[in-house]
Amino acid sequence: MNRQAQAVVMLLFGGAVVKASVTDMYLRYVKEGLRPFLIAAGVLLIAAAVMTLFYDLRKTADHDHDHGDGKPHREPRVGWFLILPVLGLLLVAPPALGSYAAGQAGTALSNQQQMSDYPPLPEGDPARITVLDYASRAVFDKGTSIGDRRVQLTGFIAEGADGHPILARIILSCCAADGRPIKVGMSGDAPSGLAADTWVEVVGKYTDRTATDPVNDESIPFIEVESWRQIDPPKQQYE
């Protein structure tokens, strides 16, 4: 692959990074706070590609190189196929991690620090908290910091080990490559008949019911659902 082909691939890749960064697309790959770094990286790639093309086009032998044998030499064209995945990133945006990823990995709750003193729940009825916050309080605090208050959780539907739907959310340390699921079982007036990856808001109370995740044998807490409603996927789908 010659320099021009390398520069074109670099230019397209940089453009794809910038395009994803200036829209909400980047939230499917990394945490929200990394946007400035992605934009900077994309701009640097574009600048490097433009400079490479500029200097290479000034040379007299742009495509054919004389090796002293009187015969023109062409670089292998197969290198241009490297453009295909970059074009795919530009034209087709893969979805955020969802129910399939949740089913393949064990709950990440075992990797969270076990706190002994949780802060009070937010004000309001119901109290809006994350799936991770509820699961941590339910497992490690035995629901003490929740009490009899109603809470509202937002997540997507995934299939549990027993075939019943569970509420899940993917948490990130940095990017989608290290995404792990948080899983919460649902009892009471739980959603039914919904396809996997359907986003819902559920309102309910703490219950001491738990299940065991068959992937890593960690505890999956439950919530006693009082009501629920289907919603559109949020802009930030990771916690």
Pairing of strands 180-188, 219-231: parallel
Q: What percent of the chain has pLDDT over 90?
A: 47
Domain endpoint, select from 48, 65, 94:
94
CA 210 to chain centre: 26
Same domain, 110 and 73: no
Q: Give helix 35-57 / helix 3-22 axis angle, nearest 10°.
A: 150
Higher pLDDT, 69 or 131: 131
Higher pLDDT, 22 or 157: 157
- For residue 193, the cross-strand partners are none
Domain total for the chain? Answer: 2
Q: Would you state the pLDDT for residue 177?
A: 81
Check whether 157 has a pLDDT greater than 70: yes
What does the alpha-carbon distance between residue 138 and residue 222 come to, in Å, rounded to a whole number? 8
- For residue 220, the cross-strand partners are 211
Other residues' Cβ atoms within 10 Å of the Cβ of residue 55 = 11
Same domain, 88 and 145: no
Q: What is the mean pLDDT of residues 152-157?
A: 98
Q: Would you state the pLDDT for residue 62?
A: 47
Pairing of strands 65-66, 219-231: unpaired
Same domain, 46 and 116: no
Higher pLDDT, 73 or 55: 55
- For residue 170, the cross-strand partners are 181, 238
pLDDT in tens, 94-152: 788 899 999 999 999 875 556 567 899 999 999 999 999 999 999 999 999 999 999 99
Q: Would you state the pLDDT for residue 178?
A: 85
Q: Would you state the pLDDT for residue 207?
A: 97
59 located within any domain:
yes
Phi, psi angle pair for 70, to nearest 5°: 80, 5
Check whether 197 has a pLDDT greater than 90: yes
239 located within any domain:
no
Same domain, 86 and 189: no
Same domain, 89 and 43: yes
Same domain, 113 and 213: yes
220 located within any domain:
yes
Q: What is the mean pLDDT of residues 180-187?
A: 96
Domain that holds residue 216: 100-231
- Is the previous residue joined to 119 through a cis bond, with omega within 30 degrees of 0? no
Least confident stretch, 25-34, 59-68, 132-141, 221-230: 59-68
pLDDT in tens, 10-35: 888 888 888 888 887 778 778 778 88
Amino acid at 152: Q
DSSP codes, 33-91: GGHHHHHHHHHHHHHHHHHHHHHHHTSS-SS-EE-SSS-EE---GGGGGGHHHHHHHHH
What does the alpha-carbon distance between residue 76 and residue 61 come to, in Å, rounded to a whole number? 16
Same domain, 122 and 196: yes
Q: Would you state the pLDDT for residue 2?
A: 66
Q: Give helix 3-22 / helix 83-91 axis angle, nearest 10°.
A: 20
207 located within any domain:
yes
Same domain, 118 and 17: no
Q: Which burial class, exposed, middle or buried, applies to 141 when counting CB atoms under 10 A from its CB (0-12, 13-18, 19+)?
A: middle
